[in-house]
Structure 1
Amino acid sequence: MELTETHTLPVPQQQTWDALNDTEILRACIPGCESIDPDGENAYLVALSATVGPVKARFKGRMQLTDIDAPNTYTIVFEGQGGAAGFAKGNARVNLEADGDAATKLSYTANAQVGGKLAQIGSRLVDGAARKIAGEFFKRFSAQFSADSDAQAPAPGDLSAAADGTPVQAESNQAEDGESGGEDNKGKKSWTAWISKF
């Protein structure tokens, strides 16, 4: 099986690289992942559950990062056993390329071999499941960055974001500065509107 895809992520290259090397982020993004634990330098023990066609199994395996050229590329070498379901092993070459100042183009080529029941159900089902898992991973991976930016930057006009219960700073400045009666009234009006919500 060979899988080649490209995704554009809404964050700079270095931030993408850091996230790809953060086991907590990976655990949250890999569908069915139960744990990722360090196992030596640039190596990890992984446990995950996956469904491929009629076969559902819990896999335990190991992945090793090789050919590391931070923050541009690395190769993931992996192997896993799923008991009666069979096994999977292979590698994936991951490349990062800056796409402007605030985005990164991530491309990868993965090659894998499967055995046991996984091999018996046919390459079409295995390929389809692999693409679905990869698609879900990148959907969650991109959402991690969206969640981070939402948490760090409250939406404009979000009065509830003020820690001490006061309205947004721009409004209080207008009321305090009193540059004009209209501005002063505007500040009072929005303060009244804000209080009336409670």
Structure 2
Amino acid sequence: MEMTGERRIGAPREAVWAALNDPAVLKEAIPGCESVERIGDDQFQAKVSMKLGPMSAKFGGKVTLSNINPPASYTISGEGTGGAMGFAKGGADVALDEVGPSETVLRYNVKAQVGGKMAQLGARLIDSTAKSMADQFFDRFAAQLTPAVPEPVAEAPAAVEGAAPAAPARAAAPAPAGDDIFAKAGRLLTQDFMGFPPQVWLGGGAMVVILALLFLVR
């Protein structure tokens, strides 16, 4: 009924906290996430599609934030249902520890219980699926926070007499999403988002991930 883990992310803590607020980042990072919606100052609901062994279902869940301490930690409690597949309810403690100017450790401790058909599946299958889902999220999330290293531009060969002129150089690629996240981090920590205090919404992003994990923890 418990799962604990941590992940090092190559970005400042403020940027990680801000990225947990970015719907576009979460949409790309969370496996099966379909939507996130605010239903109160400290409550969110989400829809997540997932496959567990031979079973597939869409889960709808609601989560509540408490003990919010931006950008360091918060507590989550939530519950969700997936029709005949079953239900899950529980909570989690999430902490962001700054271990360097550009490195953060995200730690989580999830406690939950499940019922319905999902509870009849083996613990090994549920545990392996939960770990795989968490790994996928953190890989995708960290990738969006890590600026891409530009490839070196090769020198143009010397012109050969009588040869056709070289094609014009391509325009530089747009800046990666991670750069935008760093730029927005400070603004998100000092302004309201969608009319709600930033510390409330920022914690809500990671809620979707924890909510999905709640469905898989025994």
* TM-score over 0.5 for the pair: yes
CA distance in 1, matches of 2:157, 2:152: 11
CA distance in 1, matches of 2:111, 2:137: 17
Which residue is 1:121 aligned to?
A: 121
User: Over residues 122-179 of structure 1, what are the superposed CA-to-partner deviations in whole Å (9 max), with x where a residue is unaligned?
Assistant: 2222122111111111011011113xx23xxx726449xxxxxxxxxxxxxxxxxxxx
Structure showing greater radius of gyration is 1
Any gaps of 5 or more consecutive residues in structure 1? 160-185
CA distance in 2, matches of 1:80, 1:34: 14
Return the offset for 1:75: 1.5
Return the offset for 1:52: 1.4
Equivalent residue of 2:11, what SS? coil
Residue 155 (structure 1) aligned with residue 150 (structure 2): yes
Check conservation: 1:76, 1:92, Cα contact below 8 A: yes
Moved over 3 A (4+): 156-159, 189-193
Tell me the TM-score normalized by structure 1.
Answer: 0.75
Residue 8 (structure 1) aligned with residue 3 (structure 2): no
CA distance in 2, matches of 1:89, 1:140: 26
CA distance in 1, matches of 2:141, 2:41: 24
CA distance in 2, matches of 1:106, 1:70: 13
Q: Tell me the amino acid that sits aligned with residue 74 of structure 2.
A: Y
**Alignment root-mean-square deviation, CA:** 2.3
Which residue is 1:139 aligned to?
A: 139
CA distance in 2, matches of 1:73, 1:5: 15
Tell me the TM-score normalized by structure 2.
Answer: 0.68
Alignment CA distance shift 1:12-1:138 (3 Å): same
1:50-129 to structure 2, matched below 5 A, reads 50-129=50-129
Equivalent residue of 2:40, what SS? coil
Greater RCO, CA 8 A, separation 6+: 2
CA distance in 1, matches of 2:118, 2:20: 28
Return the offset for 1:23: 3.1
Which residue is 1:30 aligned to?
A: 30
CA distance in 2, matches of 1:91, 1:191: 65
Q: Tell me the amino acid that sits aligned with residue 106 of structure 1.
A: L
CA distance in 2, matches of 1:30, 1:192: 50
Q: Tell me the amino acid that sits aligned with residue 196 of structure 1.
A: A
Return the offset for 1:27: 2.6
Any gaps of 5 or more consecutive residues in structure 2? 169-218
CA distance in 2, matches of 1:155, 1:16: 22
Alignment CA distance shift 1:136-1:156 (3 Å): closer
Check conservation: 2:16, 2:145, Cα contact below 8 A: no
Return the offset for 1:105: 0.9
CA distance in 2, matches of 1:6, 1:88: 22
Which residue is 1:196 aligned to?
A: 166
Check conservation: 2:6, 2:105, Cα contact below 8 A: yes
Equivalent residue of 1:71, what SS? coil
Alignment CA distance shift 1:190-1:109 (3 Å): same
Check conservation: 1:3, 1:131, Cα contact below 8 A: no
Q: How many residues align?
A: 164
Q: Tell me the amino acid that sits aligned with residue 137 of structure 2.
A: F
Question: What is the identity percentage for the equivalent residue pairs of Structure 1 and Structure 2?
Answer: 40
